[in-house]
Amino acid sequence: MLTLTAKGDTQVLVTRHFSAQPQQTWDAHVDANLIAHWMLGPEGWVMTLCESDGTPGGDIHFVWANATGQTFSLTGEVLDVQPPTRMVHIERMHLPDTTPDNHVETLIEPAGTGSKLTLIMTLPDRQTREVMLDTGMADGMEASYARLDALLTPKETP
């Protein structure tokens, strides 16, 4: 289950354990073919565009839509990559107004037989952080991460 914690005035700390090994968890965060299957947020949304270049200087561009015609998107740039344990990127949401830049450090480490994901999100100020926390972000993230865990967990055969 996802844990989301406010840290200081401008940071949000997100942690989540996965059954998958760290390399699999890493791949699912940088491979556009995998991202498109799990990063969908709450039920009813689909990803209509998924571009992810997980190399330094690479661009990220995701677009989501639902059955009622609502859309939103995310764009960003990758700043630093140390596969399979650390990536730093900048992201901004377009809702349709563009949010301030969110600086995200993604850390993946072994945890028991699976892996632990830690996201450190740094926002420009306390107000932006509070707006982000009040949007129900945790529910959408957990729905996506539950999909990811199911996607990466080997199915038992009878």
Which CATH number belongs to the domain containing residue 65 in this structure?
3.30.530.20
Least confident of 47-56, 127-136, 139-148: 127-136
Residue 124 lies in a domain: yes
Residue 102 belongs to domain spanning: 3-152
**Mean pLDDT of all residues in the chain?**
92
- Quote the pLDDT of residue 23: 96
| C-alpha distance from residue 81 to each of 13, 26, 49, 107, 153 (Å) | 19, 11, 23, 10, 25
Query: Does any domain span residue 157?
Result: no
In single-letter form, the type of residue at position 120 comes to I
Residue 158 lies in a domain: no
Full-prediction pTM beyond 0.85? Answer: yes
Q: Answer whether 92's CB lies under 8 Å from 99's CB.
A: yes
Give pLDDT tens digits for 48-93.
999 999 999 999 999 999 999 999 999 999 999 999 999 999 999 9
Average pLDDT over residues 39-46: 92
Q: How many domains does the chain have?
A: 1
Report the SS3 class of residue 80.
strand
